[in-house]
Structure 1
Amino acid sequence: MKSKVVQLKADPQGDLAFLQITDTHLFADRQKDLLGIKTVQSFEAVVEHASKYKHCHAVLSTGDLSQDHSAQSYLDFCQHIKTLNLPCYWLPGNHDIQAVMLPNLLAEGLAHTQVIESENWQIILLDSQVEGVPHGLLSDTQFAVLEKTLKKNPNKHTLICVHHHILPVGSAWLDQHIMKNNHQFLDLIAPFSNVVAVLSGHVHQASDTLQDGVRFITTPSTCVQFKPNSNDFALDSVAPGYRYLKLKASGEIETVVERIDKDAFSVDADATGY
C-alpha cells in the first residue's frame, strides 16, 4: 500500500498536541481479562479520562491494539477512540495481526498513515512488527521510508513513532524483545539533528531517556503495567494510563503521563507469565 502523508494545521502558536494511547490488548469479549484486568473496560476508562484534553490534534496509537486478533476487538477500538472526536493514527505491535487489523481499521475510517506533517513538525510512523514473535525489527523498506522522509524535510522537527523500544529499559525479560536492529536505527538518525524524540509502547511502563540529543520515550499501557527494572516477569500495581504531548514550534516537547483511578483495576498479583 502506498504510504500516505497527512497534513495537520498547528495551533496559532505553531504547536501540535497529541494523546498517545497504546497497548490496549482488546478482546472481542469485554469480560475477558489479561492478567486480571478486563482490557476493554480499562481502555474505556482511559479514553474517558483523556477526554478532558479538548484541544488536541490527534491520537497516536502505537500498537498492540488487540490481544485476541479478532475483527471485533479492532472494531471496538475504533468505536471507543472515535468518542474523542480526534483523528487516530496507528501502527502495529507484535500482538496485532495486520491481515485483520488493516481492513477493519480502514473500514472505520482510520487511515493507514506513515507521515504526519505540520508547519514545524513531522511525525513518522514505522512498522517494527515481525509477525509471530515478540521482538521488533525494521525492514529495509521501513528504513528507506525513514531515511527518505528525514532527507525530504531536514528543517522540520521530527518525532518518530514505533511500537518496540529502541533503548533497553533495564528489565531483562522485556529487553530481549527490543527492536533487534536498534543500532542500525540509531546510526541512521544520528546525522539528522532535527530528530527530537522517538515514541514507543510495548514495555507497558513510562520512561524518558535522553541519548545523543534525542529523547526516547515509552508510555504506560491502557491495561496491565510491567514493573520497571525487573529482570524477571513482574507486574506493577500502578494504574493504567496514557500520555499527553505538546510539540512546540521551537522543537521542544512538553509531555505528561496521565493515569486513571488507581483503585479502578487490579492486576493478578500471582501471575507468573505473559
Structure 2
Amino acid sequence: MKVMSTQATKLRSDQQGCLQLLQITDTHLFSDRNKDLLGIKPAESYEAVIKHASRYSSKCQAVLSTGDLSQDHTQQSYLDFTKQIKTLNLPCYWLPGNHDTQSVMLPSLLQEGLAQSKQIVSDFWQIILLDSQVEGAPHGFLTEQQLNFLQQALTEYPDKHTLICVHHHVLPVKSAWLDQHILKNNQQFLELIKLHKNVRVVLSGHVHQAGDIEFNQVRFLTSPSTCLQFKPNSEDFDVDDSAPGYRYLALHKNGTITTKVERVAHGEFSPNKNATGY
C-alpha cells in the first residue's frame, strides 16, 4: 500500500528562523521486546537512544524517522515504536524502509496519531519524505509517482531551502555489500534535484553508519541505527562495535545546516561479531 498525502503540513521554526530536528532511524523492532538482533535487543537500545535524545527535545520542532521501524512486520512492533517516540513530545514524520510492511505500518502509526505527512513546510525550509521501498527487495527505487511528487514539491516552493528524506542511500558508501542495495535509480534522482538550486540536504538511513558527503553542492547524510551498526568500508557483511545513535540537525534560515551524530555510551550494547548476515 503506497499512499501519499497531497497537502503540506506546516511546521513553525523557532524565533531565530531555525528548524531543529532529530533523526531516529532503523529501529528494527520485534513484537517480542526480549528478542535480539545479532546480539542486541532492539527494544532496549531504542529506549536508550530515545532517553539520550530527550536532551534535545525541548528545543527541537520535530522527529524524522527514516525507515526500517520494524524487523518482524508486526503491529505490536509499530505500536512500541510510537510509544517511545511519543516520550519526546514532538511530531514525528516517517517513511518506510525495506524491512517495513506498509499494510501494517500505515494503519498502526495512524492509529497512534503519527501523521502521514510527506511534505512539511516551514518559514524558510521544506522537508520532503520519499518512499523508496521495493516490496520484497532490499534495494531502493523511486517510482515515477514519487519522482513527480518530488518535482512538484520542489517547484511549488522554489524560495525555500529543501531537505529530502529517503530511506535508501543515494551515493555509494564504499561498502560493497551495502552498495548493491543502494537507491537503484539514483542517477535519475540526482539529475532531478540538480535542476533545483534549493535542495540543500538529502538524509537517509539504511546503511547503519554515519556519513556526510557533499556532491553537487548538496550534503548527503547517513546516520547510525538505534540498534546494531554496520562496519564502514567493508567488502562483505560485517558489524561494527560503534554504539547505537541518532542525528541532530539544525536547519538555519540562510540555508546552512548544523548537524551532529550522537550515540549512547560505548559498550552498553555489543553485537555478535561472528554474524554473517541478518
- Per the alignment, residue 31 of structure 1 pairs with 34
> What CA deviation, in whole Å up to 9, does each residue of 1:186-234 have, x standing for no partner?
0001011110010000000000000010000000000000000001111
Are 1:200 and 2:204 matched, yes or no?
A: yes
Are 1:21 and 2:24 matched, yes or no?
A: yes
Are 1:66 and 2:70 matched, yes or no?
A: yes
Are 1:178 and 2:182 matched, yes or no?
A: yes
- Per the alignment, residue 125 of structure 1 pairs with 129
Distance 2:6 2:227 in 1: 30
Q: What is the aligned length?
A: 274
State which of 216, 235, 241 in structure 2 corresponds to 1:237: 241
Are 1:157 and 2:161 matched, yes or no?
A: yes
| Displacement after TM superposition at 1:266 (Å) | 0.4
1:1-16 matches, cutoff 5 A: 1=3, 2-16=5-19
Partner SS state of residue 168, structure 1: coil
Q: Which amino acid aligns with 1:186?
A: L
| Displacement after TM superposition at 1:4 (Å) | 3.5
Q: Which amino acid aligns with 2:11?
A: L
How high is the TM-score relative to the length of structure 1? Answer: 0.99
How high is the TM-score relative to the length of structure 2? Answer: 0.98
Partner SS state of residue 34, structure 1: coil
Percent identity, aligned pairs only?
A: 65
| Displacement after TM superposition at 1:273 (Å) | 1.2
- Per the alignment, residue 52 of structure 2 pairs with 49
Q: Which amino acid aligns with 2:257?
A: I
Question: In 2, are the aligned partners of 1:3 and 1:112 still within 8 Å (CA)?
Answer: no
Q: Which amino acid aligns with 1:145?
A: F
Q: How large is the Cα RMSD of the aligned pairs?
A: 0.6
Distance 1:191 1:80 in 2: 39
Partner SS state of residue 229, structure 2: coil
Distance 1:51 1:152 in 2: 34
Distance 1:117 1:5 in 2: 6
Give ranges in structure 1 of 5+ residues lacking alignment: none
| Displacement after TM superposition at 1:3 (Å) | 2.8
> What CA deviation, in whole Å up to 9, does each residue of 1:53-105 have, x standing for no partner?
12100000000000000000000000010000000000000000000000000
Question: In 2, are the aligned partners of 1:127 and 1:162 still within 8 Å (CA)?
Answer: yes
Distance 1:192 1:233 in 2: 36
Partner SS state of residue 209, structure 1: strand
Q: Which amino acid aligns with 2:210?
A: A
Partner SS state of residue 203, structure 2: strand
Distance 1:198 1:4 in 2: 21
Distance 1:264 1:228 in 2: 20
Q: Which amino acid aligns with 2:108?
A: N
| Displacement after TM superposition at 1:173 (Å) | 0.1
> What CA deviation, in whole Å up to 9, does each residue of 1:82-133 have, x standing for no partner?
0000000000000000000000000000011110100100000000000100
State which of 95, 104, 108 in structure 1 corresponds to 2:108: 104
Q: Which amino acid aligns with 2:82?
A: C
Q: Which amino acid aligns with 1:33?
A: D
In the TM superposition, structure 1's runs of 4+ consecutive aligned residues that sit over 6 Å from their partners are none
Partner SS state of residue 149, structure 1: helix
Are 1:40 and 2:40 matched, yes or no?
A: no
Q: Which amino acid aligns with 1:252?
A: T
State which of 137, 140, 143 in structure 2 corresponds to 1:136: 140
